[in-house]
Structure formats: C-alpha cells, structure tokens
A and B are shown apart, each in its own frame.
Chain A
Amino acid sequence: DVKVTQSSRYLVKRTGEKVFLECVQDMDHENMFWYRQDPGLGLRLIYFSYDVKMKEKGDIPEGYSVSREKKERFSLILESASTNQTSMYLCATFHQPGQGSNEQFFGPGTRLTVL
C-alpha cells in the first residue's frame, strides 16, 4: 500500500525558530512536493524535487528552503518562522509519467502554528 508520512500532525513554534517538516515515502517515487493549504487559497506549491539533491521553486518559496538527501525523504525548512507561516503543510509524491498512475499521493498534513 502506498504510504506518505509526515513527521508531525500538529506543531506549535515561536516566531524566529527554525522549523523542520519531514516527509517520507515508501513508493520509490522520483518527484516530491511541498504545498501549503490556506482557506480560500487552495493548495499552493512551495518547492518540489524531481530527484535526489535536485529542487525547484514553486509559486511561494519565500521564507522556505528544502532538502532532499535521500530519495524517500523530502524536508521543508522554515529558517526563521513567522506568524504568516501558520498553515497546513502537505507533502505529496508522484511517479514519473508513463511509469504508473497519474496521481499525486498526499501525506496527512502538518498543521503548523507560529506564535
């Protein structure tokens, strides 16, 4: 069974803290994504990675960085958390086109609150 796990379901941090959100998949998928979900704004892409050590900026990368040292793990880093980064963060994976289904598989999400 396909599985995408995220390190925490709920997280509370203080302004200025460095925050790590981890995503692990067991499907051997090449592509991994980080989104944030806010009411009325839908899912917005922060960063994605199509291979180990490769990354590309999405639509809202400011204030975030990512790390992909191993194929199965994709980390989102908030260098200095701010209150406007309070949100639901979703990780997703995707197999290369033509090598499986066409769907993105999502993790359960991490609800981050920055005080």
Chain B
Amino acid sequence: QQPVQSPQAVILREGEDAVINCSSSKALYSVHWYRQKHGEAPVFLMILLKGGEQKGHEKISASFNEKKQQSSLYLTASQLSYSGTYFCGTGGVSYNQGGKLIFGQGTELSVKP
C-alpha cells in the first residue's frame, strides 16, 4: 500500500518553514525523499534508515519515527528553488530488496517571492 503524504499541497512565502509528513500502514525499514521540479526527473534528497539518526542538509532535514511508521521532511527558511513536488518512498523490512520502493502520492510545494 502506498504511504500517505500530507499535506497534498502547500504554498509558502520565501523564508517560511514547511513540514511534509509521510505515513505508512506497514513496518518500515527505510524512507527515501525525492524532489521533482516541474518537467524534470525526480532527484534524491536523503534516506533515513531504521535506527538511524535524523538526516539532512542545512535547511532541509528529515526524521523517522519507527513506532509511528512515519517520516517528516522539514524545510526551513524556504527558497524559491525549493518549489516542486516532494515524494517519500518507503522500503520494506529488508534492505536487500533491490532498492524497491513504494512512493507516496506527492506533496506539491510552491514558494512565492
């Protein structure tokens, strides 16, 4: 089953923060985050593994709550370049599944000047 992302869409002003959630009904081993800009291929942002720490760069980070089977992506002080559709992809209980992921339906993020 597809993980559920929320919200489905969000509009921000430059400099504002946003949180995108990804929830699964199945036990998770890993959560991957991707961003797709309009007309382009999805690009990998980060992976979170069961038992791992919160990952991220300066202003984009993510957490993984194994108990709740949920991951959250945090975008801080958003920039225009953050606009796009964000997807979470969930991996199963074994990492040795050839990288197979089940993706959520996506969250469309628009950052306005």
A residues within 8 Å of B by Cβ?
Answer: 4, 30-31, 33, 35, 40-45, 48, 50, 59, 90, 94-97, 101-109
Are A45 and B100 in contact, CB atoms less than 8 angstroms apart? yes
Which residues of B lie under 8 Å from residue A103 when comparing CB positions? 32, 44, 47
Instruction: Kindly state whether residue B84 has any CB partner on chain A within 8 Å.
Output: no
Give B55 Cβ to nearest chain A Cβ, in Å.
11
For A4, give the chain B residue with the smallest CB separation: B41
Q: Is the interface of B mostly helix, strand, loop or mixed?
A: loop
User: Measured between alpha carbons, how far is A102 from B48 in the docked complex, in Å?
Assistant: 10
Give B29 Cβ to nearest chain A Cβ, in Å.
11
Which residues of B lie under 8 Å from residue A97 when comparing CB positions? 95-96, 99
Are A90 and B99 in contact, CB atoms less than 8 angstroms apart? no
For A29, give the chain B residue with the smallest CB separation: B99
Q: Which of B65-106 contact A (CB under 8 A)?
A: 87, 89, 95-96, 98-106
The 3 closest A-B pairs by CB, nearest first: A94-B99, A103-B44, A106-B41
Query: With A94-B99, A97-B99, A103-B47 known to touch, is A42 a contact of B40 (CB < 8 Å)?
Result: no
For A101, give the chain B residue with the smallest CB separation: B44
User: Measured between alpha carbons, how far is A30 from B98 in the docked complex, in Å?
Assistant: 8
Are B42 and A31 in contact, CB atoms less than 8 angstroms apart? no
For A40, give the chain B residue with the smallest CB separation: B105
Which residues of B lie under 8 Å from residue A4 when comparing CB positions? 41
Which residues of B lie under 8 Å from residue A42 when comparing CB positions? 2, 5, 87, 103-106
Q: List 15 A-B contacts (CB under 8 A).
A: A4-B41, A30-B98, A31-B100, A42-B2, A42-B87, A42-B105, A43-B89, A50-B98, A94-B99, A102-B30, A104-B34, A104-B44, A105-B44, A106-B41, A108-B41
Which residues of B lie under 8 Å from residue A31 when comparing CB positions? 98-100
Which residues of B lie under 8 Å from residue A95 when comparing CB positions? 99
